[in-house]
Amino acid sequence: MSRARRQGASKPAISLSMVESGREVRLVAVRAGRGLAQHLADMGFVPGGEIRVVSNNVVGPLVVLVKGSRLVIGRGMAHKIMVE
């Protein structure tokens, strides 16, 4: 059994690009360089923050709700945002 499971972690992190429309998730990490990580933090993507996926059509950008703001982010950027 992995250490995370022994310590009571609920489920493994997945990329935001894999989350279905209508779901709400919690950001656990941003796997990106310093510049992109800072840009995302400036937009409200911070560890522990709640993200609601408004629209994810499997191709093209995602529409998400972060801290009351509706944002459109590219799929490549969404791949770097890890959530649970």
Q: Is residue 25 part of a domain?
A: yes
Report pLDDT for 7: 54
Report pLDDT for 8: 54
- Could you report the per-residue pLDDT of 22-76, keeping only the tens digit for each? 999 999 999 999 999 999 999 999 999 999 999 999 789 999 999 999 999 999 9
Report pLDDT for 56: 97
Structural domain count of the chain: 1
Q: Is residue 62 part of a domain?
A: yes
Q: Is residue 74 part of a domain?
A: yes
Domain that residue 26 falls in: 10-83
Exposure of 44 by Cβ count < 10 A (0-12 exposed, 13-18 middle, 19+ buried)?
A: middle
- ∠ CA 11-8-68, nearest 5°, is 55
- Could you report the per-residue pLDDT of 2-18, keeping only the tens digit for each? 444 445 556 799 999 99
